[in-house]
Amino acid sequence: MRHEQPVKTLGADLRALRKARGMKLQDLADTLGRSVGWVSQVERDMSEPSINDLRDMARALDVSVSSLFRVNAAPDEEGLIVRAGARRPIGSRAAGLVEELLSPDLSDDFEVVHSSFAVGAVLEQFVERPTQEVGYIVRGKLDVTIADKTFTLSKGDSFRVKGQPFRWANPYSETCEAVWVIAPPVY
């Protein structure tokens, strides 16, 4: 017996992002200068936002506009499969860091992200967020500072950050690639 999975939508992603940021419908509506009803309709896919609305929502939710667009998947893959050429860009916008969503959408209790750290890329300031994160180094090396301890990680190594301040740097001669699992989603 085959169970059909509900197709995840722009509205579901927007709702997940809003909730991940601890925003209420009213908070987002106030920021956008829109009604709570309109925001609710967008989140339930009953109303389609304009490109200007999407820009405003992306700014309010601190994500790139491109992260809100999806590449169409084959009908039987929607919500289940993410092809390598169909990953959605997301991320912190830190120089030298490219992040792509490996999860089909943002509506789960976690997200999986592919990160590429360019040679010389550095996150200067500590980041601290109410998440649990596990990273796995796929290629290269990366220095990760968690609280007051710095670790050099190589291919095959993994780490966990549990609501602690962290930062990273790639002072090495090769791009570092990592896969991160983050709960709850932050993008």
Residue 66 main-chain phi, psi, to 5 deg: -65, -25
Check pLDDT > 90 for residue 185. no
Please, what sign has the CA dihedral across residues 131, 137, 140, 145? positive
Tokens of 9: 């939508």
Cα(5)–Cα(43) distance, integer angstroms? 18
The average confidence (pLDDT) of the chain is: 85
Dmax over CA atoms of the chain, in Å, equals 52
Cα(95)–Cα(180) distance, integer angstroms? 18
Count of Cβ atoms closer than 10 Å to residue 117 Cβ? 27
Q: What is the pLDDT of residues 91-129, one digit of tens each?
A: 656 678 888 888 887 778 888 999 999 999 999 999 898
Count of Cβ atoms closer than 10 Å to residue 10 Cβ? 18
Strand, coil or helix: 101: strand
Among candidate residues 115, 153, 110, 151, the one with its CA nearest the CA of residue 132: 110
Tokens of 17: 């992002």
Q: What is the pLDDT of residue 39?
A: 93
What dihedral angle (degrees, nearest 10) is formed by the CA atoms of 166, 170, 176, 181?
Answer: 0
Q: State percent of the chain over pLDDT 90.
A: 45
Domain annotation for the chain: domains and CATH numbers = 10-68 (1.10.260.40), 84-183 (2.60.120.10)
Q: What is the pLDDT of residue 75?
A: 67
Count of Cβ atoms closer than 10 Å to residue 129 Cβ? 15
Cα(59)–Cα(172) distance, integer angstroms? 33
Q: What is the pLDDT of residues 3-46, one digit of tens each?
A: 444 445 778 778 877 877 778 999 999 999 999 999 999 988 88
Q: What is the pLDDT of residues 143-162, one digit of tens each?
A: 999 999 999 999 999 999 99
Q: Distance of alpha carbon 140 from its chain centroid, rounded? A: 22
Alpha-carbon distances, residue 178 vs 20, 52, 70, 104 (angstroms) = 22, 33, 22, 18
Count of Cβ atoms closer than 10 Å to residue 40 Cβ? 16
